[in-house]
């Protein structure tokens, strides 16, 4: 990539990071004060487990309420994670140089790291909207989604430069 392309990409990342930051702060404000319906929406996360009943001498499925999930705050965290990722790759530092070198190779590891966290937070939030409140299930959903994104990074690293080599053969 040309230096001007890296400069315009850097500017784009700075702008998008600033927009995500503003959205995240606005969501935090909305989730905690302004819009009551958002601040009141806090699904209760539970733990489902088997417990031995001495009277019936059998295992019974039971659950325990653990905590209320601050839905609006987690939406803000999703946005702030994205803002942080844009800042890490756009601000002049060592990571910006790594980001640019990776782009030259046809990979973008920072995107996959950011997706690993932000999309996993979002998929957990979406899961609660569909009625999944069990902490074990939500943790597994988070981890499986994070793994999927890390496998995407692995795929990108394994295939880095292969398109260039294919073009050279023809």
Query: Rounded to 5 degrees, what are φ and ψ at 59?
Result: -85, 135
* Residues 156, 160: Cα–Cα separation, whole Å: 6
Residue 170 has a pLDDT of: 55
HSE-up of 59 (CA within 13 Å, CB side)? Answer: 4
Residue 169 has a pLDDT of: 60
With b for 16 or more beta-carbon neighbours within 10 A and e for fewer, the 67-103 pattern comes to eebbbbbbbbbbbbbbbbbbbbbbeeeeebeebbebb
Residue 77 has a pLDDT of: 94
Tens place of pLDDT per residue across the chain (170 aa): 566 688 888 889 899 999 999 999 998 888 887 666 666 788 999 999 999 999 999 999 999 999 999 998 999 999 999 999 999 888 877 877 888 888 888 888 889 999 999 999 999 999 999 999 999 999 999 999 999 999 999 999 898 877 665 555 65
Kindly state the tokens that stand for 121. Answer: 């937070």
* Residues 118, 143: Cα–Cα separation, whole Å: 12
């Amino acid at each position: 990539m040309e230096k001007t392309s890296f400069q315009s990409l850097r500017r784009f990342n700075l702008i998008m990071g600033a927009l995500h930051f503003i959205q995240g702060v606005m969501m935090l404000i909305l989730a905690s004060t302004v819009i009551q319906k958002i601040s009141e929406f806090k699904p209760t996360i539970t733990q489902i487990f088997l417990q031995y009943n001495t009277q019936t001498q059998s295992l019974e499925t039971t659950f325990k309420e653990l905590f209320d999930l601050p839905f609006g705050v987690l939406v803000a965290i999703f946005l702030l994670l994205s803002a942080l990722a844009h800042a890490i790759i756009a601000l002049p530092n060592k990571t910006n140089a790594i980001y640019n070198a990776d782009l030259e190779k046809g990979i973008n590891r920072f995107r996959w790291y950011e997706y690993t966290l932000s999309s996993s937070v979002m998929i957990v939030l979406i899961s609660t909207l569909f009625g999944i409140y069990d902490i074990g299930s939500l943790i597994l959903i988070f981890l499986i989604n994070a793994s999927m994104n890390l496998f995407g990074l692995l795929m990108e690293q394994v295939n880095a430069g292969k398109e260039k080599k294919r073009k050279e053969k023809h």
